[in-house]
Chains A and B, each alone.
Chain A
Amino acid sequence: MQTQTRKIMQDGVWQNNPIFVQVLGICSTLAVTNLVANTLVMCAALIFTVSFSSATVSILRQLTPRNIRMMVETLIMAFYVIIVDVVLKAYWPDMSRSLGPYVGLIITNCIVMGRCEAYGISNPPGRAFVDGFFNSLGYTYILLIIATFREILGMGTFLGLAVPFFSGPHWDKWIILVMPPGAFFVLGILTWIFRTIQFRKEKTSP
């Protein structure tokens, strides 16, 4: 069991990382990477949704007829997303407004469906939960890297606080990084670096 959990962990975070290797689910979340705070909240929402819906799908897996399972999975996902949305609206209305429709779009985020389909439907609930958790964690840290680059270089702040050198007069702010094209560039370059490292490793290990 211990080794199995470890393997799930490594797979989600590095070997089979949802963003770099599977290129899944970048749609709705790339949009919130202009500020680190937004990214943190969005990713927390995603981790919650993925792990719980994967576990729920797994609990119900014997009861779900095969040919309507997509519909059932979608409804389970929507159920958790509504919880997140309502809680955010009630306790943190500013954040809810600045995330706009993207919280709702977690439903169509391919990574949620991907984990439910690939893992939740055929494994026991506990492991499905762990798998969902680490896959979304692997997703989270990359978005955090992107958001950090974009916020520091583009606005000179980190979590809204001024960063010494980058907010000073000697640093020309890279406005382009806060605008949509910046997200594409940063993710493209990160993918390049990550894949190059993976290819190197493959070459050295037999």
Chain B
Amino acid sequence: MTIGSEISQALVVCISAIFTQNILLAYFLGICPFLAVSREIKAAFGLGLAVIFVLTATTLLNWLAYHYVLVPLHLEFFRFILFIIIIAAFVQFTEMVIERYSPFLYQSLGVFLPLITVNCAILGASLFMVIRDYTFIVTIGYGLGSGIGWFLAIIAMAGIRQKLAHERIPRGLQGPGIALIIAGLMALAFTGFSGVLQGR
């Protein structure tokens, strides 16, 4: 495959990861923090940005580790452990760097970083990347698109939930119940994009 066609494929993968194949609304990854941190827009924004950054970086690192370490050694089954260690190490490292060089960024982003290690969207994206056999350039598009898709979903959710705070909701439906139903409606809206990309 030439570089040009790879780049265009990366673009297609990126856009489909944002809209039609949204990692949260179509694959249910990262729902726990999505429900827990979507009460106000500010927190959702911080977490969303952190996810974009970590997700893109770790899928690339994991791609390199998988194709240059595990495949030559025939240790593919070992990928779960390796991926999770890389993710945890990367998150820890980022936290230290940010703390050292940008106290401002640390204040707005730092608190969310530890949460990210256990976000299934991060590990999920890496596993999908392996299963779908993406090349390195396509992986860039995939990681970025998945992160942006997750970011969009949590921001939209936080906006809706802020408005809902003043509504009267049946007691049993308050909290997670209503959030799940909103997520369902959002997923429905996002499937409306599926005509945008032919042949996905």
CA distance A180 to B25 in the complex (A): 7
Task: Enumerate chain B residues within 8 angstroms of A23, measured Cβ to Cβ.
Answer: 32, 35-36, 175-176
Please tell me if the beta carbons of B32 and A31 are within 8 angstroms of each other in the complex: no
Interface residue tally on A, bucketed by range: 35 or more
A1 CA to B145 CA, complexed, in Å: 52
Assess whether B184 is in contact with A184, with CB atoms less than 8 Å apart: yes
Does B180 sit at the interface, judged by CB under 8 A?
yes
B193 within 8 A of A: no
With CB as the reference atom, state the residue of chain A lying closest to B29. Answer: A27
Cβ-neighbour of A85 out of B77, B120, B180 (below 8 A): B77
Q: Kindly state the separation between the CA atoms of A74 and B84 in the bound complex, as whole angstroms.
A: 8
Residue on B with the closest CB to A86? B77
Inter-chain CA distance A109–B32, complex, in Å, is 9
Q: How many A-B pairs with Cβ below 8 Å?
A: 130
Report how far A166 CA is from B80 CA in the complex, Å.
40
With A23-B176, A26-B28, A180-B28 already in contact, the answer to whether A101 and B124 are too (CB < 8 A) is yes
The minimal Cβ–Cβ distance linking B162 to chain A, given in whole angstroms, is 19
Q: Is the CB of B118 within 8 A of A105?
A: no
* Least CB separation from A26: chain B residue: B31
Check A199 against B181 for contact (C-beta < 8 Å).
no
Task: Give the interface SS of chain A, mostly helix, strand, loop or mixed.
Answer: helix
When the two chains form the complex, which single residue of A25, A107, A181, A193 contacts B187, counting CB atoms closer than 8 Å? A181
Q: Once the chains bind, are A28 and B120 in contact (CB under 8 Å)? A: yes
Q: Which residues of B contact A110 (CB under 8 A)?
A: 32, 118
Q: Number of B residues whose C-beta is below 8 Å from A?
A: 45
Please classify the interface of chain B as helix (H, G, I), strand (E, B), loop, or mixed, using the class held by over half of its residues. helix
Residues of A within 8 A of B172 (CB): 191-196, 199
Asked if B26 is at the interface (CB within 8 A of a chain A CB), the reply is yes
Residues on A with beta carbons closer than 8 Å to the beta carbon of B77 = 82, 85-86
State in angstroms the CA–CA spacing of A78 and B187 once bound together: 30
B residues 24-60 near A (Cβ < 8 Å) are 25-32, 35-36
B128 interfacial by beta-carbon distance below 8 Å:
yes
Query: Given contacts A180-B27, A180-B28, could you give 5 more A-B pairs where the C-beta distance is less than 8 Å?
Result: A30-B31, A74-B84, A82-B78, A108-B119, A113-B118
Give 21 pairs: A residue, B residue, CB < 8 Å, sorted on A: A23-B32, A23-B175, A23-B176, A31-B29, A78-B84, A82-B77, A100-B131, A101-B124, A101-B131, A105-B29, A107-B123, A108-B84, A108-B124, A180-B28, A181-B185, A181-B188, A188-B183, A192-B172, A195-B177, A196-B171, A196-B172
